[in-house]
Amino acid sequence: MDKFQSVRGFHDLMGDELRRFRYVSELIREKLLLYNFEEIVLPVVEYLEVFQRSIGETTDIVQKEMFAFQDRKGRWLALRPEGTAGAVRAYIQHSLYALKPYMKLFYEGPMFRYERPQAGRYRQFHQIGAEVFGSKDPLTDAELISLVYEILSELGIPVVIEINSIGCKICRPAYRSVLLEYLSHVERNLCEVCIDRKDRNPLRVLDCKVPACKEAVKEAPKMVDYLCEECREHYTRLKEYLSALSIPYRENPYLVRGLDYYTKTVFEAVSEELGITVIAGGRYDYLVEELGGPPTPAVGFAVGLERLSMLVKEVPAQEPLYFVIPFGPVEDFALWVAKRLRAEGKRVELSYRKGSLKKQLELANRLGVRYAVIVGEEEKAGSFYTLKDMETGEQVRVEITF
């Protein structure tokens, strides 16, 4: 290796990309606080079993995409591929259910999946996730989808919000059998992966991106036609609330998601421009109990921050930059002026280079400076500085008041 490179799928976030990333994450954090979500900082590593038990043994994430490893004592750990499992583990571990009738948590940080890297798909990526524990009311699902819609509208990102209901323990088994029956008739047209997974996880076949599979499932039975009374009522009310809030959505009866914990509502915000999902979530009413907590319905979503920032066209301009140029042996005064301007809330850089005023102003241009603040011996003696607007060339004397 001539020079070290970052590991494939692990990228440095910087410059414009990072500015967009921060703008997006700050906007979302502010929104979440307005909705009274409380932040939780979760560890990056959990016991492997936490993910196996929640995301599901037969999912791609658990089977193929985990960064799993043994620690020095031989315990199996994994870098988190997502945040819901850890949030649920924390919710149970700290008995958060005993604190409030419902709990709204959000988290932000890196996630890790061993996927094939491509545009918008990394092995280390970042999510902000929000989870509501303790409410089974579709009002909660509607409010979360509304929050997702608000985020996307404020960022000016055109997306389609797709929704579906994938039922519950009562209605899904019957649907599963009908679907399996259907798949057995079209099996010869399915891709190898789908043939392999159809018996273990038939719903995933509906989500396969291979054109032949898409074609084969076109006439497949739909979960929404097999929902039990409770799930149907839940789904109907969700749609009513979304319409009442004028949130445009599209029903996608084949939306199933790649994680096994979901029940009832699932949703995704898809950018039609890039054909990628930027925000995704759903309800998971059994997961808390399955991981050892009391029966607690829950619903949440996660934002893919890299993907969302990719779609942001413009971020608000930065504050204008002031550049303090010491001209002559007046560094102490220049340091003091820079400090003072910063105390006024200005973005200030102090020149670390020596040289003629011409050279310094050239440097200012290269740094994208808006205002050069020239301080020489005369300025120091008279307690003022010379402010030069680099765009108009205009120059004024600014008295320093004490």
How many Cβ atoms are within 10 Å of 99's Cβ, its own excluded? 9
**145 belongs to the binding site for ligand HAM (CB under 6 A):** no
Stretch that binds ligand HAM, among 24-32, 125-133, 151-159, 327-335 (CB under 6 A): 125-133
**306 belongs to the binding site for ligand HAM (CB under 6 A):** yes
**161 belongs to the binding site for ligand HAM (CB under 6 A):** no
β-pairing verdict for 298-304 and 276-283: antiparallel
Note the Cα 112 to chain centre separation in Å. Answer: 13
**376 belongs to the binding site for ligand HAM (CB under 6 A):** no
Instruction: In whole angstroms, give the CA distance from residue 244 to residue 24.
Output: 27
Q: Is the dihedral of CA 309, 315, 319, 321 positive or negative?
A: positive
133 phi, psi to nearest 5 deg: -105, 135
**121 belongs to the binding site for ligand HAM (CB under 6 A):** yes
Q: Which of 31, 113, 136, 204 binds ligand HAM (CB under 6 A)?
A: 113
Instruction: In whole angstroms, give the CA distance from residue 251 to residue 357.
Output: 65
Beta strands per DSSP E along 113-151:
124-133
Burial of 183 (C-beta count, 10 Å sphere; 0-12/13-18/19+): buried
Query: CA-based angle 79:84:90, to the nearest 5?
Result: 85
**11 belongs to the binding site for ligand HAM (CB under 6 A):** no
**267 belongs to the binding site for ligand HAM (CB under 6 A):** no
**163 belongs to the binding site for ligand HAM (CB under 6 A):** no
- What residue number has its CB nearest to ligand HAM? 304
Q: Quote the least distance from Cβ 219 to ligand HAM, whole Å.
A: 26
Q: Quote the least distance from Cβ 232 to ligand HAM, whole Å.
A: 22
Residue closer to ligand HAM by CB (options 300, 376) is 300
Q: Which of 103, 280, 287, 337 binds ligand HAM (CB under 6 A)?
A: 280
345 phi, psi to nearest 5 deg: 95, 10
Number of residues that bind ligand HAM (CB under 6 A): 26
**96 belongs to the binding site for ligand HAM (CB under 6 A):** no
Could you tell me the CA-to-CA distances from 240 to 120, 253, 396 in Å, in that order? 33, 17, 62
**129 belongs to the binding site for ligand HAM (CB under 6 A):** yes
The helix/strand/coil state of 277 is: strand
The helix/strand/coil state of 293 is: coil
Radius of gyration of the chain from Cα atoms?
27
**307 belongs to the binding site for ligand HAM (CB under 6 A):** yes
Q: Which of 138, 293, 304, 326 binds ligand HAM (CB under 6 A)?
A: 304
Beta strands per DSSP E along 40-85:
45-47, 67-70, 76-79
Residue closer to ligand HAM by CB (options 278, 334) is 278
Instruction: In whole angstroms, give the CA distance from residue 301 to residue 265.
Output: 11
Provide, for the chain, the percentages of residues in helix, strand and coil under a 3-state DSSP scheme, each rounded to the nearest 5. 40, 25, 35
Stretch that binds ligand HAM, among 25-33, 177-185, 217-225, 302-310 (CB under 6 A): 302-310
**125 belongs to the binding site for ligand HAM (CB under 6 A):** yes
**202 belongs to the binding site for ligand HAM (CB under 6 A):** no
Q: Quote the least distance from Cβ 202 to ligand HAM, whole Å.
A: 20
Q: Are 391 and 370 in contact (CB under 8 A)?
A: yes
Q: Quote the least distance from Cβ 121 to ligand HAM, whole Å.
A: 4
**56 belongs to the binding site for ligand HAM (CB under 6 A):** no
**301 belongs to the binding site for ligand HAM (CB under 6 A):** yes
Residue closer to ligand HAM by CB (options 125, 235) is 125
Contact positions with ligand HAM (CB under 6 A) in 76-95: 82-84
DSSP letters, 337-359, are HHHHHHHTT-EEEE------HHH
**278 belongs to the binding site for ligand HAM (CB under 6 A):** yes
Residue ranges binding ligand HAM (CB under 6 A): 82-84, 113, 115, 120-122, 125, 127, 129, 131, 258-259, 277-282, 300-302, 304, 306-307
